[in-house]
Structure 1
Amino acid sequence: MSSTDEERSAEILTELDRLRNRTRTRTHGGAWLPALAIAALLLASIALYQMPFGQLTAISADHPYWAGLPDQQRQPVLSYVFWFVGTPLLFAATAAWYTLRARRLGLRVSWPIFAGAGLGVLLLLAVLAAVPESEVGSDALAPAPDWIWQGLLTPLLPVAVAVLALAWAERSPGLAAAGTWIALLTVWLCGTFPLGYLPPWATNLLGGGSGSLGGQLSLRPGHYLVLMALPLVVFAAVRAARTRRVPNA
């Protein structure tokens, strides 16, 4: 093979790689909107708490945690309606978004798994418990054994599952990391009481000593929800900027 043929082959391979990357970017370029919508839903849920950023002298949390996190909520029914109406609306808007993109670009994403996973877990929560009935007081620091399981009865888990499903559909490690982050925070915060409780082993590890009885972070529900939404906002900004560089994406 002559040098000219080799150069031509290299140019063809380079062009194929460029087209492949462009197609991938166009196919998955729309992930920024559902990611941003989920972040907006998380941030909007801050309004469900009586004191989302301020400290309370005493805290009682209705269980299941329909506001999302185990803290003083304004109205349990309001929290219930917010998640069980807002979450399906988010999935409906996402479905419309991906349908329009598929018609415009001729490229499809497996978005139904995103909506199906989130709605499936949300429906499971509705079946397990419909209306909050019990309260947890702030006089106990250590979590009871059954709290870890009961703490999973929160509408934040369907959000985490939906983000992980979206990560699979979009083939996105960034979304997978965001979904894992939301899930870990949710399980920790809702599996213990009061909010931000640190077990003795964690305080010993952070303090470099031993013999601690545990502790508690001073962050409030609003702070934790901002932390949950932050990776999604960053992902949406980066993905939108990257997509804008590709024509017709």
Structure 2
Amino acid sequence: MLLLASMALYRHPLGSASSIMADHPWWAGLPDEQRNPVTSYVFWFVGTPLLFAATGLWYHWRARRLGVRVAWPLFVGTGLGVLALLAVFAAVPTGPVPDGLVAAEGPFWPGLLTPLLPLAAAVVVLGRAERSRGLVVAGGWIALLTVWLCTSFPLGSVPGWASWLLGGGGESLGGQLALRPGHYLVLMALPLLSVAAVRLLSGRADRA
């Protein structure tokens, strides 16, 4: 799965770091220090189309074998379409975090130039095509976390209003969750893994 494999793109995916320099746009996916921006760029802009192609081939094979058809071209078209929008801005990215992008400030919409959003959009469309609420929720969850994490810096910053809603009380200045990119990627992937596990168990039960 691309989400979990993308952990390898970060210099400190799970461990803490004394300081973070994040190149913008976030071509690794999340606003944290990447090993190499070009590697991140290639990973997503080659890996995502390959994932969609493999998914399309699997649905084509299933349709021929079982006669069950799903509108997978819409799923592929959505994912590639959103990815193409990112590619418009994709002279290979280097550079520091833009001035003014600081903890608990936002929204910073250029931060949404992240390859995680095409994946989220494609999952939502696939869920609609399969009439799977689980997939729709999974795609929405990925999008929600992505928008939060990519519109502020450093990673995991909690704005004051959100801290207040969570019980901070008073005029809260916000805070920051002590999680690393790998932890957030696992959180993003959990609904997808849950849907896959349920389908696997259901398939085994049907065969039994």
TM-score by structure 2 length?
0.94
- How many residues get paired? 206
Measure, in 2, the Cα distance between the counterparts of 1:208 and 1:154: 30
Tell me which residue corresponds to 2:179.
219
Identity of aligned residues (%): 67
Any unmatched runs of 5+ in structure 1?
1-39
Correspondence 1:164-175 to 2 at 5 A: 164-175=124-135
1:59 is the counterpart of 2:31: no
Tell me which residue corresponds to 1:197.
157
Contact 2:102 2:152 in 1 (8 A): no
Structure (1 or 2) with the greater helix fraction: 1
How far is the alpha carbon of 1:246 from its aligned partner?
3.1
Measure, in 1, the Cα distance between the counterparts of 2:5 and 2:106: 30
Contact 1:61 1:137 in 2 (8 A): no
SS at match of 2:97: strand
The verdict on how the C-alpha distance between 1:144 and 1:164 changes in structure 2, with shifts beyond 3 A counting, is closer
Tell me which residue corresponds to 2:88.
127
Tell me which residue corresponds to 1:140.
102
Measure, in 1, the Cα distance between the counterparts of 2:121 and 2:26: 17
Per-residue deviation, residues 224-249 of structure 1 (Å, max 9, x unmatched)? 000000110111010121123335xx
Tell me which residue corresponds to 2:119.
159
How far is the alpha carbon of 1:46 from its aligned partner?
0.4
Greater radius of gyration (CA): 1
Tell me which residue corresponds to 1:74.
35
Q: Residue 93 of structure 1 is aligned with which of 11, 34, 54?
A: 54
SS at match of 2:191: helix
Give the root-mean-square deviation of aligned CA atoms: 1.6
TM-score by structure 1 length?
0.79
Tell me which residue corresponds to 1:109.
70
Asked which structure has the greater RCO (Cα within 8 Å, sep 6+), the reply is 1
Query: Which stretch shifts more, 67-76 or 121-130?
Result: 121-130
How far is the alpha carbon of 1:162 from its aligned partner?
0.6
Any unmatched runs of 5+ in structure 2?
none
Measure, in 1, the Cα distance between the counterparts of 2:135 and 2:83: 20
Contact 2:86 2:114 in 1 (8 A): yes
